Structure 1
Amino acid sequence: MKKMKHKAPTTDNIIGNFAGKPVRVILIGISLILIVFPLYWLITSSFKIEGEYLSNPPVLFPSIFTLDSYQEIFGKNQLLQHFMNTLIVAGGSTIISVIFGSMAAYAVARGSIGNRARKWFGLWFMVQKMYPAIATAIPVYLVMRSLHLIDTKTALIIMNTSFNLPLVIWLMMGFFEQLPLELEESAMLDGCGFTKRFFLIIFPLTKPGIIASAILAFVGAWNEFLFAVILSINKSKTLPVVIAGFITDRGLEWGPMAATAVITLVPVLILVWVLQKNFVQGLAMGAVKG
C-alpha cells in the first residue's frame, strides 16, 4: 500500500479548524473596518462644513458636501508649491538611494567576503535604519547651517537618502545573492565592464526588488516629517509640515487638515496600486529573505 503523504498545515487550515468559517469572516470584517474607517473618516471630514467636523457627537456622514476646505488650502497655503517640494525631495532621494544602494548591495553580495561578514553587514545596515533619527537632529541642523543648506530641498534630499540607503542595501542584497554567477561570468567573457554588466544585465534581472525598494524609499521620504520641519522654513516646506501647520493656538483646523492629508495620500495610493504586482513579487522573491 502506498503511504499517504501528509501536507503541512497552512495558516488558513489552522485558523479554520480552530475557529471555524463564521469566526474567520467576523475577524476579517473587523480588520477591514479598523483599516478602512480611518480612511473614510479622513475623506468625509475633508468635505464637511465647519459645523459638522467640529460637532459633538461626531457626524459620521456629512449632510452637505462642500469644497470649502480644498478651496482654502489651494488658495491660501501655496499647496501646489509644497506638493512639488515633496515630489522633488521624495523622487530625488529615491532615485539616488536605489542606484547607489543597489551598487553597494551588489558589492557586499558579490564581494570577496565571507558569509559571516556578509550577515554582519546586513545587520549593520538594519541597525542604521532602526536608530532614532531625533538623536541626530541637532548635529544635522548645525552641519546644514554651516553649509548654508537650511530651507533648501538639497538638505532634505541628503537626509532622506541617508535614511533610505540602509533599507535599500539590505533589501537588494537578498536579490543579488540569488542571481546565478554564470550570467555575470558569460558577460565578462564577452568583454562587459562592470558598469555595462551591472546596468544592462544585473539591474533588469532584479526589477521586482528595485521596484519594492523604490516604493518603500519613496513612501518613507514622502511621509518624512522630523527633518522636514527642522530644516525647512518656507521655500522647501513639504506636505507633512503643512499638515502639522494646521495645529494652531486657536485650535485644530480639521477641514483644511483633512483636505491636505487627502491630497498627500492620493499619489502614494496611485503609485502602490499601479506597481502592487511588482511590489508584492519583489518582497516575496528575495527582499524578505535578505
Structure 2
Amino acid sequence: MSHLSLQAEHARPVAAQRRKPAGVRAYGWFRVVALAVVVLALLAPLAWLVASSLKTNVDIYDPTKTIIFKPTFENYVNVLTRNNYFIYIFNSFWVAFVSTGLSLLLGVPAAYAMSRFTMHRSALVVLMARVIPGITLLVPWYYVFSNMRMVGGFTVLIMSHMFVALPLIVYIMISYFDSMPLELEESAQVDGLTPIGAFSHITLPLSIGGMATAGILAFIFSWNNFMFALVLSGSRTKTLPVAIFDFVSYASIDWGGLMAAATVVTVPIMVIALFTQKYIVSGMTAGAIK
C-alpha cells in the first residue's frame, strides 16, 4: 500500500469525526432562525415606534411611506417644548428615585431579619404582597387618601409605588442574604462587633450587588407604572406614562405626538436596562437556585 493510500485512510476517520451529525446541524440552524424571529419580533415594534415618531400624521396613515419618508422632528419639538414634557420627565424621575430609595432603606434590613431569623411567615406575606394585583387596592387607597386630601401630591404617589418596590426588594435581598455564609458575621462578632455592627460593616458591603439589582428593577417598575399614577396623581405631579394620554382626545388622536412621547418614555429606561443588564438578569433569577 502506498504512502498516499495510508494518508487517505487516516484522513477519513478524522474528517468523519469533525463532520457534525445532521441532527446537530439542523438544531444549530433552528436556533439561529428562532433567535432571529424572536429578535425581529421584539425590535420591529420599537423600530415602527421610532419611525412613526419622525413622521407627520399624514405620512403615518400613508402605507406607501411606511419605510421611505421624509423625517421631521416637529413631533419631538411639540412634546419637549410646547407640552412641557421636561416637567413630566422630572416627575417620573423624582417619584421613581424617592420610592426606590425609601424601599431600599426599609426593605434591606427587613430582608436581613427574615433571612437570618428564618421568618418564613413574614417572607410569605411579602410574597403575597408581590402577587396581589395593585388594582384591588386602588379604590380603598383613593377613598382614604382623598378624605385626607392627599390625592394629587407626590407623597401618595411615592407611597403607592413603594407598594410594588418594597416587596420586590425584600424578595430579592432575602435570596442574597441566604447565600451569604453566617460564619462571616460570627467571626466579626468574635472580634468584638455587635450584631448590628457585623451587619453594617460586613454583610451590607458584601450585598452591594444585590441592592443594585433590586434598586434597578424597582426603579424600572416605578418609571413604567401607569395605573397608580393615573388615579392618584394630579396635574402638577403627572408622570410620563400618564402624560402620553394628552395626545388622545375624544375626536382624534395625534399619532405623531403620541409616538414621540412614547419614545421619550421608552428610550431612557432602555438605556438603563442596556447598561445594567447583568444586574437585571441576576435579579430575575435570584432565589431560583440555592
TM-score range, shorter chain: 0.7 to 0.9
Kindly provide the amino acid, as one letter, of the partner of residue 87 in structure 1. F
Contact 1:168 1:213 in 2 (8 A): yes
Q: Give the corresponding residue for 2:54.
A: 47
In the other structure, the counterpart of 2:114 is 108
Aligned-pair distance for 1:140?
A: 0.5
Residue equivalent to 2:173: 172
Deviates more, 1:195-204 or 1:83-92: 195-204
Larger radius of gyration: 2
Alpha-carbon distance between aligned partners in 2 of 1:17 and 1:28, rounded to the nearest angstrom = 17
1:49 touches 1:64 (CA, 8 Å); kept in 2?
A: no
Deviation digits for residues 155-189 of structure 1, max 9, x if unmatched? 11111112221111111111101111121112223
Q: From the superposition, tell whether residues 250 and 125 of structure 1 become closer, same or farther in structure 2 (CA, over 3 Å).
A: same
Q: Which residue does 1:206 correspond to in 2? A: 207
Cα shift at 1:144: 1.5
Q: Cα 1:235–1:62, aligned 2, differ >3 Å: closer, same or farther?
A: farther
Query: What is the rounded CA distance, in whole Å, between the counterparts of 1:269 and 1:31 in structure 2?
Result: 18
Residue among 27, 40, 60 paired with 1:20: 27
C-alpha distance in 2 between matches for 1:251 and 1:194: 63
Gaps of 5+ in 2: 1-22
How many pairs does the alignment contain? 268
TM-score for the superposition, normalised by structure 2: 0.85
Counterpart-to-counterpart distance in 1, 2:253 and 2:263: 16
Shift of 1:287: 4.1
How do 1:78-93 and structure 2 match up within 5 A?
A: 78-93=84-99
What RMSD, in angstroms, separates the aligned Cα atoms of the two structures?
Answer: 2.1
Deviation of 1:93 after TM superposition, in Å, equals 0.7
5+ long unaligned stretches in structure 1? 1-15
Q: CA deviation at 1:266?
A: 1.9
Q: Secondary structure at the match of 1:132?
A: coil
Is residue 33 of structure 1 aligned with residue 43 of structure 2? no
> Which AA in structure 1 matches 2:94?
I
Deviations for 1:117-152, whole angstroms, at most 9, x for unmatched residues? 62x443432221111211111110122122322111
Residue deviations 1:93-137, cap 9 Å, x none? 1111122111111110001x4xxx62x443432221111211111
Q: What amino acid is the match of 2:96?
A: A
Shift of 1:62: 4.6
Specify the code of the residue in structure 2 equivalent to 1:182.
E
The answer on whether the counterparts of 1:101 and 1:168 sit within 8 Å (CA) in structure 2 is yes
Shift of 1:54: 2.5
Q: Deviations over 1:45-82 (max 9, x none)?
A: 11112211133x37432511101101111222110111
Following superposition, the deviation at residue 278 of structure 1 comes to: 3.3
Cα pair 1:211 1:279 within 8 Å, conserved: no
CA distance in 2, matches of 1:62, 1:225: 34
Any idea what SS the aligned residue of 1:149 has? coil
C-alpha contact 2:95 2:222 (8 A) present in aligned 1: yes
What TM-score does the superposition give when structure 1 sets the normalisation length?
Answer: 0.85
